[in-house]
Amino acid sequence: MQHVAVVGTHEELLAGARAGDLVCFERLIEPQIRIGYRLAAAMLNDADQAEDAVQEATLRAWRSIRQLRSVGQLRPWYLTIIANRCRSMRGARWWSVIRVADTRSGIANPADDADQRHDLSRALGRLSPDERAAVFLHFYEGLTSREVGDALGVTATGARSRIYRALQRLRVDLAEEEL
């Protein structure tokens, strides 16, 4: 196994990783691990399981790095591997509750109203798993519709539709809870 220079463009790092250079792979994947962990933590609702899922998904990504078409696809490709790992760890019911404060920083904001967070968590919990994943990736992680679609295995239009349907359902559910 040859080592290419770890200082270089993302394309050079990808080429090195495809050639079997673990250091290049680590440099590519390291910026994605944090978002991957937050996704796993939201999906599994358990920090230890999330760590396990990210470790296993990262190993799977290393083993299949040659399948990655371009550096621009890295984030959705990696998140897809993590989401699939989480689904297999949880079975069919992979997302029961979202803790809104935990998805950003892991620290609750004291200014947040606990009742509103509870209502939002309950409303999010009533969404389908694919709708929750689309909402989480788009609004909490800032992914584009195309990136959300890539991560969930649908087109950008399909991702926008899921996000739209989820928001419509959330509006109705939250309005009903206010009554």
pTM equals: 0.64
121 phi/psi in degrees, rounded to 5 = -60, -40
Q: So what's the pLDDT on residue 91?
A: 61
CA separation for the pair 76, 117 (Å, rounded): 28
Taking the alpha carbons at both ends of the chain, their separation in whole angstroms is 65
Residue 176 burial by CB count (10 A; 0-12/13-18/19+): exposed, middle or buried? exposed
95, 132 contact by CB (below 8 A): yes
Both tokens assigned to 150:
């890539």
* pLDDT tens per residue across span 102-126: 444 444 444 445 666 667 778 887 8
CA separation for the pair 20, 17 (Å, rounded): 5
86, 78 contact by CB (below 8 A): no
* pLDDT tens per residue across span 53-106: 999 999 999 999 999 988 988 999 999 999 889 888 876 343 344 444 444 444
Q: So what's the pLDDT on residue 116?
A: 62
Q: Name the packing angle between helices 114-125 and 156-178 (round to 10°).
A: 130
Q: For residue 71, what are the contacts with CB-CB under 8 A and spacing of at least 6?
A: 10, 11, 13, 14, 28
79, 151 contact by CB (below 8 A): yes
CA separation for the pair 86, 93 (Å, rounded): 10
Q: So what's the pLDDT on residue 63?
A: 94
Mean pLDDT of the 146-166 span:
89
109, 101 contact by CB (below 8 A): yes
Q: So what's the pLDDT on residue 103?
A: 45
% of the chain at pLDDT higher than 90:
35
* pLDDT tens per residue across span 2-35: 444 445 688 999 999 999 999 999 999 999 999 9
Q: So what's the pLDDT on residue 117?
A: 64
